[in-house]
Structure 1
Amino acid sequence: MPAMLEVMSPNARLEQLAQGFRWAEGPVADPITGDILFSDVPTNTVYRWRESDGLSVYLKPSGYTGLYPDNNLQEGANGLMFNANKQLVLAQHGDRRLAMLQEASSAIPQYVTLASHYQDKLFNSPNDVVQHSGGDYYFTDPPYGLKGADQSAQKQQDVNGIYRVNAAGQVTLLASNLTRPNGLAFSPDERWLYVANSDPASATWWRYPVLADGTLGDAKLFFDATATAKTVAGLPDGLKVLPSGIVLATGPGGVWVFTPEAEHLGTLLTGVPAANVALSQDASWLYITASQYLLRIALVK
């Protein structure tokens, strides 16, 4: 479609930058160096990919330091982001918390807990995180890090929620209507919060109005890919929004491209299930974690 060519050039080629991971996730561009950090969730590792010298281990452990070992899959961080102060924030599956990296250069990385409980109960396994311009973090909390998921004896939250945590550490449950809330991203004007639901029975993307007090209004279905997910590998997972408002969302088959009005412009096929995406600092590259690979493709600037 012509509109798709305004996002990706017909001459752009998908590049394979690194491979050999068990489940690559959560890519993010370092705002200082431009390096790409991403998680290998099952191996409890965050890697760094640098244009000049390729791949290296950045953090290990990345998300499980032994805090809650019972029925814990001991997985690492999933979603990563840099906050307004250029500090790395991690959605840690294994430690069941939202955390900030305090020290990366020591032999064992040190983390500060931003939030680990809601109403005195542990989170399930925080999955992805974004920051509002006002400073609050918004994150999703499906049960993927627990053995048995919803049936785990260690699951303390009754819902798989979307939460907010403010600078004082106060946690608010914003929404509980999704079975498997996963990737999330704000629209450029922050009027909307997009959230993926990674459930084969409801492979959907949703859009919530962000109210003046930072809470969320009623969910509105953005796009339903359940029928496609029955025949094509992959589910709605991570997503990013371009400054133009175009939504780039991993889903069945690869990366789905939507207008803000939910028109599906096309899908970038990745060949294996795609987990998440990240934009370079100047939005000229799209980085994709897909199964065992780190990929990238040039975007139209």
Structure 2
Amino acid sequence: MFQNLISYIEDIKERNHSSGAALVMMKDNKIVLEHYSGYHSNTKNSRPIDETSQFNVASARKSYLGLVIAYALYEGKINSIDDLAVQYFQNIDKELLGKTTIGQLVTHSHGLNQEEDETIFREFEPGESWAYRGINILMMTELVNRLYGKSFPEFLEERVFKALGFKQTAWQTESNEKLVQVVNHPDEPSSYKLGQTNNGMDSNLHTSAREFAQWGSLHLNHGMGIVPREVIQLATQVQSPPFKNNELPQNGLFWFVQGTPAKHSELGERVPKGSYQILGVTGPTLLVIPEYNVVVAKMFNKRYNYGGSNYLHYLREFSNLVADTF
């Protein structure tokens, strides 16, 4: 039943020169598929991938940040998703921010970008288009850390991870044998992607395929009595402004959400409405399909997803394969 998904994972692993892969599927809150292959690095005598292997999820950490932003909205730390950003970011030029809203910052529709020297500039007017940039992640990370007086990883550990029983999900600052290294180039030795701290600013979040799937299950099950249902709804429902260009993707709080299938979305056209997904540049992808009560976590460890500028085709193909399974 699942052989086509396993074959897809193995094919992309080889094509993209990932040294390891993992795939976990949950259906009706039970694990129905686990697949592990390859090794922790592309060097000799590396440890085999197994259920304890912790992959760097790169920018898939945005879904974790998104949950804390949803908490801030639910608890009134942020008054409304429609609030103007100038109310919260006094250190950024007010004219530059203009009418940018919190909602636009979390749906990649803000129009801001940043030079290498950290100078912020505007690419397009707020809400008029969509662009995947890093400045909004830095801004929202700084904001929730400031609003709660602690880093958002600390917030999640205290209020979510402990209740879920997570032991293999953390922002890592030191190497250990369970961490899967990142392959930057097939002809170069892989290395650890670690952070200086656990403040959430760095791309150093690692998790196992099982706990990545359980993170998706938390959302699928409306918070499981651990997180308020309203927080999950804020995070996973479409929050994007109405674009004139209907080919642009739709987002919740960083999650890609299936509304009307869109050409530039990472969700395939056969994936049911209301599904949502998050992706990291090193390959980890978490897909939640509420209509089928399904969560799928797939893991790779190669920087940049296979397909180059056409990588969306392969992401959409995988999500379509999952949808076709049911």
- Normalised to the residue count of structure 1, the TM-score between the two structures is 0.28
* Greater relative CO, 1 or 2 (CA 8 Å, sep 6+): 2
Larger Rg: 2
| Higher share of residues assigned strand | 1
